[in-house]
Amino acid sequence: MEAAADFLVKRNNVLNVNPLVANIDITTAASDWLWAVFAVMLASAIGLLAWGHSRPIGERAFHELAAALCFTASVAYFSMASDLGAAAVPVEFVRGGTLGENWVALGVTDPTRSIWYARYIDWTITTPMLLLSLVLATGMPLSQIFGLIFFDIVMIITGLLGALTPSRYKWGFFTFGCVAMLWIFYVLMFTARKSATLLGSDYAKAYTVSASVLAVLWFVYPIIWGVADGGNVITPTSEMVAYGVLDLLAKPVFSFIHMMQISRLDYARLGFSSSKVSDGAHQGLLHEKGPMSQSATPRPSTVVGDGNAFHNAPATQAHAQPQVAV
Ligand code: RET
């Protein structure tokens, strides 16, 4: 019995296998928490994938996107729980007291803090996916979606550059990131909302719920950055708890709320179709199955450029279009 308890306490040996890189770094308790977040992300990815596969083949795109972003996060959390994916960066503000260490007494003149670049790699991949999942359900023109994704990448990469900068110039990068985020909020609040309204009141309602949840959560990230990566006010362990809770809310919880909203909607109204190449592949598959299916499938219109599928085609026509798996 005692041996079992001993094993449970000592089971997380990560910090001995992959040693800490910085003076100000995580604890084993933080690693335990990160393993828990890893497990939830992975379980959510599997759950979302299963949910998607319980739906007809043309109505799985959002579920697969959500599953993929949770899976990506699980890899990032595997990395952080294993104490991998961080770089030591000298802090701008030495706050010995708050961190429970007196660095000067310890003889450390230039204390470093762990900056978890693994997290920014995750966000570079997953935040565009979250935005896509939101705005693809609004019928917003592709050209504007590209702009939105561009500023999202600017926001995350400037956050990474700022975090890796030891001097006060980090706040310059942070400012770029905040401006990019404000632009994203502007597009979500006006352009995307207007598009969703044109699709119908049910789409508008679903969009408002999902977009509000997303915006409130995203707003907290730069605050955590300011007191963790940027200002070195809170410990890396508290940083892991704060970002971890936020990531759980912004990925699995947001995704489940968003999927519940859009599962109820009529996919046909989005006018989705595959790109020309996959249309061809799709038709080829039909051809292999026999001449009957080939003749029954005219090429559906493709949604590109500034044309909103819904704006271009009246609803009745959109409904009549053949459904292609997306
Ligand atoms: C940074 C610092 C630079 C300024 C701003 C930031 C915002 C980050 C956001 C991240 C969202 C992450 C999500 C992860 C999901 O798991 C990069 C912290 C504005 C909004 C949703």
| CA atoms within 13 A of residue 282's CA, in its CB half-sphere | 19
Residue 70 · residue 103 · CB < 8 Å: no
Residues in the chain: 326
- How far CA 201 is from CA of 142, 195, 197, 249, in Å, comes to 22, 11, 6, 26
How many angstroms separate the alpha carbon of residue 77 from the centre of ligand 1? Answer: 16
More confident residue, 279 or 51: 51
pLDDT in tens, 58-117: 889 999 999 999 999 999 999 999 999 999 999 999 886 556 677 777 888 889 999 999
The best mutation among 71, 218, 254 to test binding of ligand 1, ranked by most ligand atoms within 8 Å of the C-beta, falls on: 218
Of the pLDDT bands very low, low, confident and very high (cuts 50, 70, 90), residue 193 is very high
The residues spanned by each domain of the chain are 16-94+110-265
How many angstroms separate the alpha carbon of residue 72 from the centre of ligand 1? Answer: 16
Nearest CA to ligand 1 atom 11: 218
CATH number of 16-94+110-265: 1.20.1070.10
pLDDT in tens, 149-185: 999 999 999 999 999 999 999 999 999 999 999 999 9
pLDDT in tens, 245-271: 999 999 999 999 999 999 999 888 888
pTM: 0.84
Rounded Cα gap, residues 120 and 326, in angstroms: 28
For the residues 206-233, what does the mean pLDDT come to?
97
Q: Is 200 left (phi over 0), alpha (psi -120 to 50) or beta?
A: left
Q: Is 90 left (phi over 0), alpha (psi -120 to 50) or beta?
A: beta
Nearest CA to ligand 1 atom 16: 247
